[in-house]
Amino acid sequence: MLKKTADREHVLPLLEELGGVTEENVRRVSRQTGVPEAEIWGAGTFYTLLKGGPRVRVCNGLSCRIMGSDQLAADLRAKGKEVEEVSCLGQCDRAPAALDESLKVFDTSRRQRSITPADDKLPINLGGKRDFSFGALKQARAMGAEAIIKALEASGLQGRGGAGFPAHIKWKGVAGQKDPVRYVICNADEAEPATFKDRETMLRRADKLIEGMAIAALVVGAKDIYFYIRGEFNAEAEAVQQALKQAAPHVQDWNWHFHRGHGAYICGEETALLESMEGKRGMPRLKPPFPFEVGFRGKPTLISNVETFACVPYIISHGGEAFKAHGRTEAGSKLYCISGHVKKPGVYELPLGATLEELVQVAGGYEGNPMAFSPGGASSGFLPIEKRNLPLDFKGLAKEGSMLGSAGVVVLNDTVDMAKAAQWQLEFFEDESCGQCAPCRIGTRYLHNQVGKYLKSGDPGALKHANDVGWEMEEGSICGLGMVAHKPLVDAMKHFPKAFEKR
Ligand SMILES: Cc1cc2nc3c(=O)[nH]c(=O)nc-3n(C[C@H](O)[C@H](O)[C@H](O)COP(=O)(O)O)c2cc1C
Ligand code: SF4
């Protein structure tokens, strides 16, 4: 049993400060926190950024793979560098992406990156000037919680972290809890391959993010506000910290805290994120209870995505209907990330429900002959390019058996072997499965192995159980990772059968 006085929450930050998991560091952290050494080993070894030792990290995500990350890793090794190939670095617009030994990005891409140009009419307006007058917060104080929730409801804002859950229901849920201690947490873990919109929002519009979080804390009655920022995002964490200094005169009613991720994709899942904030392995909790009732430290907690919070100031200052009107098939504008075979990868703010074709147009056009796309990160599988005029929204993509997810769109042209693309995505899911439930732990490994066997032997028999295993994973997994991990393979087999014939 852990002693009541043990300080588990500081275990991971202390390990990081000391340089990672070593016998000596574990002993020191145990002495300092009162947490048994075995537990510290157990928690610390879960996280790749706590492995210790200087090394260059080369991204293995889909966009980086198709842009030559294997070659980049080989070149760096040939130069005598210690190289670690990692699942995702959140830099798909710089593909093939890499971080140096101090986690600084080094740009190897030859392509121009871009964002939507400044336009003050847009709700987020990445290209616009930061504004620290915090007029929306002043307005929110005058409106009161009930009117704010009504405005949120009228806006139709759906969470931008992946599931598209209506924001006003969550806010109301936390505000209505009996326990007077509540928390607000910003999920800035952004580790879904193909997704880098939260990165750009933190770098460019941390003013809107902070203002939106303050309004949320006002509504749910939280005193403590947390950022959970992915461990590799040093420049982004710095940008938010700087913005918080500028915002200080307006946000002194709250205690603001920073928590850094330690290199585990699964910690973007909200309950895994809470486990990690509490100093444990990032393993998703069984739900219910949901975080709005039992969250951080067992207290009601509002966890939302960076983009969700950043939409809030506009909703307060312009009204819910005005935000809604920015959407086409669903409410509001949306930050779409696009990478892969397009000329100007980047983050573009478009009406929710824009099509791939429109998105590619603003991203400078296709590179080569487009064949397939993945509409919402690795979890969304693949669609054939013939679907390029489908609205990229939550409901429509779900009907196609796909998902908008984090709106990380990757375009693949006909130079890509779809069986290989499926293998890369499965490698990601196998690496990132937390391993606590059998369908996901075994299923991700099995599918990854089988597609590898197929690619080696050319015998489609290797994949005869893929659909059944996928079904088991979907039905039997605790969290969203295991439920969708089969999709890249199963979708590729469905839409691109030729890529899976006898070779
Ligand atoms: C495997 C997995 C990874 C996730 N990663 C993220 C993430 O990096 N950022 C995020 O905001 N939500 C992520 N989510 C969704 C969160 O669990 C949660 O729904 C979200 O933070 C809620 O915010 P929203 O209501 O603003 O969308 C992930 C979910 C799963 C299943
Ligand atoms: S589905 Fe996978 S990632 Fe999610 S809890 Fe189970 S083993 Fe962990």
**Tens of pLDDT, residue by residue, the chain (503 residues):** 566 678 999 999 999 999 999 999 999 999 999 999 999 999 999 999 998 777 899 999 999 999 999 999 999 999 999 999 998 899 999 999 999 988 888 777 778 899 999 999 999 999 999 999 999 999 999 999 999 999 999 999 999 999 999 999 999 999 999 999 999 999 999 999 999 999 999 999 999 999 999 999 999 999 999 999 999 999 999 999 999 999 999 999 999 999 999 999 999 999 999 999 999 999 999 999 999 999 999 999 999 999 999 999 999 999 999 999 999 999 999 999 999 999 999 999 999 999 999 999 999 999 999 999 999 999 999 999 999 999 999 999 999 999 999 999 999 999 999 999 999 999 999 999 999 999 999 999 999 999 999 999 999 999 999 999 999 999 999 999 999 999 999 999 999 999 999 98
Distance CA 145, CA 407 (A): 30
Q: Is 201 in the pocket of ligand 1 (CB under 6 A)?
A: no
Residue 2: per-residue pLDDT: 60
How far is CA 332 from each of CA 140, 169, 335, 391, 405, rounded to the nearest angstrom? 20, 17, 10, 14, 16
Distance CA 112, CA 98 (A): 17
Domain 56-106 is classified in which CATH homologous superfamily? Glutaredoxin (3.40.30.10)
Element (H, E) at 83: strand 83-86
Q: Is 282 in the pocket of ligand 1 (CB under 6 A)?
A: no
Distance CA 46, CA 62 (A): 23
| Fold observed for domain 135-324 | Rossmann fold (3.40.50)
* 8 A C-beta contact, residue 182 and residue 220: yes
* 8 A C-beta contact, residue 462 and residue 380: no
Pocket test for ligand 2, best of 192, 280, 283, 286 (most atoms within 8 A of CB): 283
Residue 110: per-residue pLDDT: 74
Nearest Cα residue to atom 4 of ligand 2: 479
Residue 21: per-residue pLDDT: 96
Q: Is 187 in the pocket of ligand 1 (CB under 6 A)?
A: yes
User: Which numbered atom of ligand 1 lies nearest the CA of 483?
Assistant: 31
Residue 113 DSSP code:
P
Structure tokens, 387: 């679907």
Residue 355 DSSP code:
B
Nearest Cα residue to atom 30 of ligand 1: 269
Distance CA 199, CA 192 (A): 12
- In the structure, which protein residues have their CB atom closer than 6 angstroms to any atom of ligand 2? 266, 284, 433-437, 440-441, 477-479, 481-482
Helix (H, G, I), strand (E, B) or coil at 481: helix
Q: Is 351 in the pocket of ligand 1 (CB under 6 A)?
A: no
CATH class of 418-500: mainly alpha
| Fold observed for domain 333-413 | Ubiquitin-like (UB roll) (3.10.20)
User: Which numbered atom of ligand 1 lies nearest the CA of 165?
Assistant: 25
Which residues, including other chains, have CB under 8 Å from residue 388's CB and lie 6 or more apart?
355, 356, 357, 360, 370, 373
In whole angstroms, how large is the CA radius of gyration of the chain? 22
Q: Is the pTM of this model over 0.85?
A: yes
